[in-house]
Amino acid sequence: MERVVVVGGGLAGVRAVEALRKKGYEGALTLVSAERHRPYDRPPLSKAVLAGDSDDTTVDADWDALRCELLLGERATALRPDGPGRGGVVATTAGDLPFDGLVIATGATPITLPGDGRQHVVRTIEDARELRGLLTEGARVAIVGAGWIGAEVATTAAKKGCAVTVVEAADTPLANALGPEAGALTAPWYAEAGVELRTGVKVAEVDGRGLVLAADGAAGRIDADAVVVGVGVRPDLGWLAGSGLLLERGVVTDASFRTCHEGAEPGTPGEPRPDIVAVGDCAAWWSDRYGRRLLVEHWDTALNAPEVAAATLLGEDAGYDAAPYFWSEQFGRMVQYAGNHAASERMIRRGDTGGRKWALAWLTGDRLDAILTVDRPRDLVQARRAIAAGASVDPDALADPDVPVRQA
């Protein structure tokens, strides 16, 4: 392999570059990224950057030592793969880039709502800086979506003295991410912080004055000085249209992050492409652990999965089977989650969920599937080990917050 191109300069992109060199790849390496900045970390954008405590989250990488050509502020516009295993060409705004190995790491873009009113999202450092300037004492801030981003923005806006309203279509915060029972436990945090939370309310559009609600008989709108939309993201795959690669909500890969062509039947996998890997927020990868494809939009996956993707590209037999992990800092609490409880049989409460520190654990039989911790980092670390090992736990001990989380 002599020419590797990495498309996307987020965390997954830079980690792929680092992993390729660490594994001894000596050929040419080019990273092309739509943003003008060197790769930077996004989690602080809705936390320290929005709060004004930080302004630079650039990933610490030695680009000279990595011998990587950086094409910043340039965008991939199309992919033209040659025959399987033979590379191809990435068309970009800086010209065509032939490759014999390609890493697709184009991440995701926030979903926005209908309407011609101004909508703020938090995805880039510019987004965060611009919104920061609007979070002034007394400003009316309407946030659509009580998910991770919505809760973090609400936290900072409330702290800055804004009048914050969060509108959520589901009946609880975090309903999509955690399910309604767990999500409901976070609802009181909003009122505690002086934030108005309106659940079960859909937004029809954003206009020049704020939010127009779809079905809220009492008052059909919420006027705001700033509207922030945090209703999820969509993988950035537009440039792959017509490439022949199999795409679902993300780029479809196997457990080694190998992409594949679309099969004879639409939507089915065809010829694998070991020379084209996809990783990070844009990849829908096969998880042997869960027996299905996962699209994990979390920092930990963007950090660790590229090492496996790089190994695959270099012909090593590598697989990724980590349990997902993420964290969120909201309303003065550190919230952490590991595992996946989509198919779990039951949930156990660990501690008083009305108090400051507690956890929820999900089990199938006695096997620990997932844990959510609120200001209980030790539980998270211990449980994460058990989850990774697919281990059983003693459910009675797990329900006692004074007993460490242990494998049975």
End-to-end CA gap in the chain: 47
Residue 341 engages ligand FAD in binding (rule: CB under 6 A) = no
> Looking at 17, 31, 102, 105, which residue binds ligand FAD (CB under 6 A)?
105
Options 5-13, 168-176, 220-228, 360-368: segment touching ligand FAD (CB under 6 A): 5-13
Q: Rounding to the nearest 10 degrees, give the CA dihedral for residues 59, 63, 67, 69.
A: 80
Residue 123 engages ligand FAD in binding (rule: CB under 6 A) = yes
Residue 292, Cβ neighbours under 10 Å: how many?
Answer: 12
**Which CB atom, from 101 or from 107, has the smaller least distance to ligand FAD?**
107
| Contacts to ligand FAD from residues 8-37, by CB under 6 A | 8-13, 32-35
> Looking at 6, 70, 108, 251, which residue binds ligand FAD (CB under 6 A)?
108
- Minimum distance from residue 169 beta carbon to ligand FAD (Å): 20
The Cα–Cα gap between 15 and 305 comes to 9
Distances (CA, A) of 385 to 94, 114, 302, 328, 359: 45, 43, 20, 20, 16
Options 53-61, 172-180, 299-307, 395-403: segment touching ligand FAD (CB under 6 A): 299-307
Distances (CA, A) of 209 to 157, 212, 225: 19, 9, 8
Residue 236 engages ligand FAD in binding (rule: CB under 6 A) = yes
Residue 281 engages ligand FAD in binding (rule: CB under 6 A) = yes
The contact mask relative to ligand FAD for 56-95 (x = CB under 6 A, - = no) is -------------------xx-------------------
- Minimum distance from residue 262 beta carbon to ligand FAD (Å): 20
Tokens matching residue 68? 């990587």
Tell me, by CB under 6 A, how many residues bind ligand FAD: 36
Residue 302 engages ligand FAD in binding (rule: CB under 6 A) = yes
**Which CB atom, from 134 or from 399, has the smaller least distance to ligand FAD?**
134
- Minimum distance from residue 365 beta carbon to ligand FAD (Å): 28
Residue 337 engages ligand FAD in binding (rule: CB under 6 A) = no
- Minimum distance from residue 389 beta carbon to ligand FAD (Å): 22
Binding site for ligand FAD (CB under 6 A): 7-13, 32-35, 42-43, 45-46, 75-76, 105-108, 122-123, 149, 236, 239, 280-281, 297-300, 302, 326-328
